[in-house]
A and B are shown apart, each in its own frame.
Chain A
Amino acid sequence: MTIPIAAIFLEAGPAELWDALGEESTREALRLSLVTSVTALAIILVVGTPAAYLLATRDFRGRSVAMTLVELPLVLPPAVAGVGLLVALGPGGFIGGLIEDAGVQLVFQTAGVVVALTFVASPFYLRQAQAAFEGLDPRWLEASRTLGASEARTFARVAVPAAMPGLVTGGALAWGRALGEFGATLIFAGSFQGVTQTAPLAIANLIGTDLTGALALSAVLVAFSAALLASVKLTARGKGHGLAVG
């Protein structure tokens, strides 16, 4: 499992990799990846946390259908997701017209990258967050209500803090998925340097002409993924809130 990862670092020397990162195009790709993935993550957290809480605590008709739809992007080939986004949100798409009338351009724009990342990465967060909320003892939430807290306050003061380790894990997974996103972005937003060319797209672009540059970007992504994984493991170990009891 480690051979391909080791190979990335062994193929070229550290100095060469470092130099390659100095290139304007590489730096731009990394910056764009960071900006779009953080923006997508923010959207996922703000919208996804209450949504996951409702899915976990409410029993409503169509709940299982809603859950299946939420998880669909997990098994959808990214290229198909890109085609779907293009048909729905692109010019002439059935929502795309409305968006265009509002003066927003998504296709081949940075905003389009954010949309693609959000679409593809959100289920990773929603699944984890929903499981974390389901793992809470429902009596904690009920106790909060009897102690004078409204539903919204119960969500903010009890549910979110008590589910925090699971939420952090889900956020890290979604962020990791967003950073590595390739297919949906390529089809929906294209690969324009400085506008939509994120690090994975830049790697694909460089691989034929500048192997060292591709390797340097790959090394950065590997290092970042490893750091994310390590932080997930650390929160999992430090989650001694007695959550397992719930």
Chain B
Amino acid sequence: MALLSVEGVIQRLGDFELGISLEVAPATCLALVGPSGAGKTSLLRCVAGLARPDSGRIACDGETWTDPTEGTFLPPESRRCGYLFQDYALFPHLSAWRNVAYALGGSGDARRTKAIALLDRFGLAARADARPRTLSGGERQRVALARALAVEPKTLLLDEPLSALDASTRGRAARELAATIESSGVPTLFVTHDYEEAATLAHEIGVIDGGLIVQRGSAAELAAAPGSAFVADLVGSIVIAGRAKHLGDAGTPIALEGGATIFTTDPCEPGEVVVSVHPWEILIEPPGSDAAGSARNRVPATVTSVTRLGSRVRVGLDAGQPLAAEVTPQAVEELRLAPGAEVLAVWKASATRVVER
């Protein structure tokens, strides 16, 4: 059972402390998402043996890698971690195949054949003799991945694997990476500041805030029930602040900072609260229109921006606090939505999540 486990690893970084416990099962991918400087890379370095945590135990495949209490520290070259560095860290003085062959045993032709077979898995056999600086970003990423697999890793560690790529190559790279993680069968830990990247690649997502994992779950679980305003912000739902009153028969009324009152079906204590709504739950209606459907929350707002996102349009709204709605291009045309237009933002009480402040 090739489980990767990190127990109570504490790493002090200046005046900031990282404290992580996690387990990753074989053939599973856990993404840790958090802002830059949250100590995510430090955690990967501890797992790979490139850094020593101040305390805590790291084990993989039944073998203890780091345990300061026992004085155990396996050097990085004995851990067989497939580490994909943020900007890939290919050796500049070696060709693509020699980069891959660096970790391979054997000699001469057998070694080259093996390296080229690995490159071929990523469609790069033809670029075997190219130096890293002549490769494109996407090609570099694939060479680095082939090189990481050459150690026959017991775990894959990925540091922002897609962030160095431009938008046009990210899609393909993400699909290939997902397939690689799937077929490797080892526990995969990857860190990123990009929630979308995590949601695309990982089975599970752990959100890091202030050096701790504050919530762990699937992408859908996080979006449906964000545990804090930080998580809600990260997964892309909008977050607004208000003051909850006593429960009425139509749900809990919340007086928003900015004037309007909305309702939520979530139970909550009276007092300061934060509510989250997914932008795609919010409809836009002309000002002064009567309540026609079942949506109970009707907040007057001014359009501040209109941004096309593929087949949808994200409309920025000001209702005393920033809001956002996602609507169809037709709706934008029919309602003549443009910055400055007065509208009503409308959504259901049941789409209104109350989260911890």
Mark each residue of chain A from 80 to 115: 1 if its CB lies under 8 Å from any CB of chain B, else 0.
000000000000000000000000000000000000
Does B92 interact with chain A (Cβ within 8 Å)?
Answer: yes
B140 to chain A, nearest CB (A): 11
Instruction: State the CA gap A233–B350 with chains docked (Å).
Output: 72
Other A-B pairs beyond A139-B87, A147-B77, A148-B78, 20, CB < 8 Å:
A139-B89, A140-B92, A142-B45, A142-B48, A142-B76, A142-B89, A143-B85, A143-B147, A145-B76, A145-B77, A146-B79, A146-B82, A147-B103, A147-B150, A148-B103, A149-B77, A150-B75, A158-B91, A241-B93, A242-B131
Instruction: State the CA gap A245–B93 with chains docked (Å).
Output: 13
Closest A residue to B105 using CB positions: A148
Interface residues on A, range: 20 to 34
Chain A residues within CB distance 8 Å of chain B: 137, 139-140, 142-150, 157-158, 161-162, 164, 240-243, 245-246
Q: Across the interface, do A149 and B75 meet the contact criterion of CB distance under 8 Å?
A: no
Closest B residue to A141 using CB positions: B89
A-B CB contact pairs (8 Å), 26 listed: A139-B87, A139-B89, A140-B89, A142-B50, A142-B89, A143-B89, A143-B91, A144-B91, A145-B75, A146-B48, A146-B49, A146-B77, A146-B79, A147-B147, A147-B150, A148-B151, A157-B102, A158-B91, A161-B93, A162-B91, A241-B93, A242-B92, A242-B132, A242-B133, A245-B92, A245-B133
Number of A-B contacts (CB under 8 A): 75
Number of interface residues of B (CB under 8 A): 31
Q: Across the interface, do A147 and B151 meet the contact criterion of CB distance under 8 Å?
A: yes
10 closest residue pairs by CB, A with B: A139-B89, A147-B103, A242-B133, A145-B76, A143-B89, A146-B83, A241-B92, A242-B92, A161-B93, A148-B77
A221 to chain B, nearest CB (A): 34
Q: Is the interface of A mostly helix, strand, loop or mixed?
A: helix
A150 to chain B, nearest CB (A): 6
A123 to chain B, nearest CB (A): 26
| B residues near A150, Cβ cutoff 8 Å | 75, 77
